[in-house]
């Protein structure tokens, strides 16, 4: 698996994730949520989908509880950059709240890739190796 291939797949997942986020964001705006609240809720929903897509498609690794619990760290920088960017673009620059998240997201992409790759490809220890599917299957037996 090459880094170049991972970057291409990460970008594709990013497009799907951004479309998912933006669809949720616009839906919440239509429900009259303030733009920051709409951004936060849409971001959290899209992040969950992004985790599974990045495990399966980008890095071709099993989704484990450890990765799932650490994955929000990959989005911490993204969250700070995009939230600050949305606020800056809307409140300071006067840009439309409809399009501000798209511009803010561009600045966060390189940071998110580096952190995501580090967490997803970190070697597992035997104790942290349980996949989400194995854990759920064990609980239901």
Within a domain: 136: no
In which residue are the tokens 């989908």 written? 49
Within a domain: 62: yes
Within a domain: 60: yes
- Which residues, in sequence order, are bridge partners of residue 64? 131
Q: How many domains in the chain?
A: 1
75 pLDDT band, cuts 50/70/90, is confident
Calculate the average pLDDT of the chain: 87
138 pLDDT band, cuts 50/70/90, is low
Report pLDDT digits (tens) over 5-60: 999 999 999 899 989 999 999 999 999 999 999 999 998 999 999 999 999 999 99
> What is the domain extent for residue 55?
3-122
Within a domain: 98: yes
| Least reliable range by pLDDT among 47-51, 110-114, 132-136 | 132-136
**77 and 63 in contact (C-beta within 8 Å)?**
no
Within a domain: 140: no
Distance CA(67)–CA(70), nearest Å, equals 5
Mean pLDDT of 112-118: 90
pLDDT of residue 140: 47
Distances (CA, A) of 81 to 14, 66, 109, 120: 16, 24, 10, 21
pLDDT of residue 112: 87
**78 and 111 in contact (C-beta within 8 Å)?**
yes
Q: What is residue 130's DSSP assignment?
A: -
Distance CA(74)–CA(61), nearest Å, equals 16
Report residue 83 CA to chain centroid gap. 13
Mean pLDDT of 59-72: 92
108 pLDDT band, cuts 50/70/90, is confident
- Tell me: pLDDT of 105 over 90: no
Within a domain: 130: no
Distance CA(118)–CA(115), nearest Å, equals 5
Structure pTM? 0.68
């Amino acid at each position: 698996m090459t880094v170049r291939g991972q970057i291409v797949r990460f970008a594709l997942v990013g497009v799907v994730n951004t479309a998912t986020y933006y669809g949720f964001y616009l839906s919440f705006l239509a429900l009259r949520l303030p733009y920051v609240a709409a951004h936060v809720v849409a971001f959290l929903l899209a992040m969950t989908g992004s985790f599974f897509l990045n495990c399966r498609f980008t890095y071709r690794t099993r989704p484990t509880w450890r990765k799932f619990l650490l994955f929000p760290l990959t989005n911490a920088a993204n969250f700070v950059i995009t939230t600050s960017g949305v606020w800056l673009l809307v409140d300071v620059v006067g840009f439309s709240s409809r399009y501000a998240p798209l511009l803010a997201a561009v600045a966060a992409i390189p940071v998110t890739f580096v952190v995501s790759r580090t967490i997803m490809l970190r070697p597992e220890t035997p104790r942290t190796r349980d996949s989400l599917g194995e854990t759920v299957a064990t609980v239901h037996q």
